[in-house]
Amino acid sequence: MLTHRDSVKLRYILLLNVLAALVPGTVVKGRANDPLLHATWWTYEQHSAVVAVAAAAILGSVLIGFLMWRNLRRWWVFLLCGSLTGAFPSLFYLAAAPLTDVVLATLLVMLVIGVIWGALMGLIIYGTVGKPTAAGS
């Protein structure tokens, strides 16, 4: 059963995962830097980073929520989940964007920034909601 405390924790997790994915996503800010600008299947006017950041935040939150539900609350689990969330935008573009040398260099920068920043955010998530309490919640 989902309690009020659990729903508050999930909101914190989602917010921190958005921040974990947003920082590497800022590498491609601006319409001219959109990796999907020349993709034939991306016909929307919106910047594709909105989709990448939102998908990373949702998938990272679901992963952390699942691992907390399974009572796997080690600091390194949160570190790895944060790294995966931070790296997801670059992995999304690696799979979806037409690769040129400029796009590949940008994605490598996003990957490095995302892994490092995501790991830090994962540790913050652990400190905020992941530590097991004496009551076991």
**Structural domain range at position 64:** 4-23+43-130
Q: What pLDDT does residue 98 have?
A: 85
DSSP of 75-93:
HHHHHHHHHHHHHHHHHHH
Average pLDDT over residues 12-33: 88
Record the pTM.
Answer: 0.87
Give, as one character, the DSSP assignment of residue 79: H
pLDDT bin (cut points 50, 70, 90) of residue 30 is confident
Whole-Å CA distances, 47 to 31, 32, 74: 6, 10, 36
Q: What is the pLDDT of residues 56-98, one digit of tens each?
A: 999 999 999 999 889 898 999 999 999 999 999 999 989 988 8
Average pLDDT over residues 9-37: 87
Q: Is residue 38 part of a domain?
A: no
Is residue 56 within 8 A of residue 92, CB to CB? The reply is: yes
- Considering its fold, how many domains does the chain have in total? 1
| Residue type (1 letter), 51 | V
Residue 136 above 70 pLDDT?
no
Residues above pLDDT 70, as percent of the chain: 96
Q: Is residue 53 part of a domain?
A: yes
Q: Is residue 137 part of a domain?
A: no
Residue 38 above 80 pLDDT?
no
Q: Is residue 135 part of a domain?
A: no
Q: What is the pLDDT of residues 104-127, one digit of tens each?
A: 999 999 999 999 999 999 999 999
47 vs 10, more confident: 10
Q: Is residue 91 part of a domain?
A: yes
How many whole angstroms separate alpha carbon 123 and alpha carbon 129?
10
Q: Is residue 13 part of a domain?
A: yes
Q: Is residue 34 part of a domain?
A: no
Residue 44 above 80 pLDDT?
no
Q: Is residue 122 part of a domain?
A: yes
